[in-house]
Amino acid sequence: MPEVKRTLSKLLLIMFALNCMNSISHSKDPTEFSKVCEGVLGVNIESRNVKIKIAKLLGDKKDYIIVKSDSTFTILKFNGEDWKSIYKIDINANESDIKVWTTGDLDNDKKDEIIIFKGKNIVIYDLTEQEFNKSTYDFPYYVESALVGDIDNDKLNELLLFCCEEPSSYDRRGCKYNLCVVKYNDQKINILASDSQGLGFEASDIVPPDKLICIVDIENKGNNQLVVTGGQSDVSPTNYSLLNWVNGNLERTKSFSVTKGSMKTGNSSRDKPMRDKRKRNRGEKFEHEEIHPFLIGGLKPALIDGKTILLGSMVDKDYKRIPVIIEIKEDNIKIDNLTYIETHGWYPLNMLFWANIDGNGKGILKITKSNNSNIAKFEFYR
Ligand SMILES: [Ca+2]
Ligand SMILES: [Ca+2]
pLDDT per residue as tens digits for the range 32-78 = 789 999 998 878 777 777 889 999 999 998 999 999 988 889 999 99
Burial 117-135 (b: 16+ CB within 10 A, else e): bbeeebbbbbbeeeebeee
How far does residue 150's CA lie from ligand 2's centre (Å)? 4
Nearest ligand, CA 110: 1
What pLDDT shows up at residue 245?
96
Q: What are the tens digits of pLDDT across the range 104-140? A: 999 999 999 999 998 899 999 999 988 999 999 999 9
Q: What's residue 21's pLDDT?
A: 41
CA distance linking residue 236 with residue 294, whole number of Å:
8
Ramachandran assignment for 187, one of left (phi > 0), alpha (psi -120 to 50 degrees), beta (any other):
left
Residue type present at position 84: K
Distance 94 CA to ligand 2 centre (A): 35
- Distance from the CA of 178 to the center of ligand 1, in angstroms? 25
Q: What mean pLDDT is predicted for residues 264-282?
A: 52
State whether the Cα torsion 144-200-300-217 is positive or negative.
Answer: negative
**pLDDT exceeds 70 at position 2:** no
Inter-CA distances, 113 with 55, 65, 102, Å = 8, 13, 8
Question: Do 168 and 204 form a contact (C-beta atoms < 8 A)?
Answer: no
Query: What are the backbone dihedrals phi and psi of residue 213, each rounded to the nearest 5 degrees, phi first?
Result: -105, -55
CA distances from 81 to 77, 155, 296, 354 (A): 10, 35, 33, 18
Centre of ligand 2 from the C-alpha of residue 140, in Å: 22
Q: State yes or no: pLDDT of 307 exceeds 50.
A: yes
pLDDT greater than 80 at residue 372: no
Ligand 2 center to 245 CA (angstroms)? 10
Residue 84's contacts (CB-CB under 8 Å, 6 or more residues apart) are 42, 76, 77
* Residue 109 Cα to ligand 2 middle (Å): 13
Amino acid letter at 143?
V
Position 56: which residue type? K
Q: How many whole angstroms from 110 Cα to the centroid of ligand 1?
A: 6
Protein residues within 5 Å, CB atom, of ion ligand 1:
105, 107, 109, 111
Give the Cα-Cα-Cα angle 367, 370, 376 (nearest 5 degrees): 45
Average pLDDT, the chain: 83
Q: Distance, CA 36 to ligand 2 centroid (Å)?
A: 35
Between the CA of 106 and the centroid of ligand 2 the distance, in Å, is 10
* Closest ligand, as measured to the CA of 160: 2
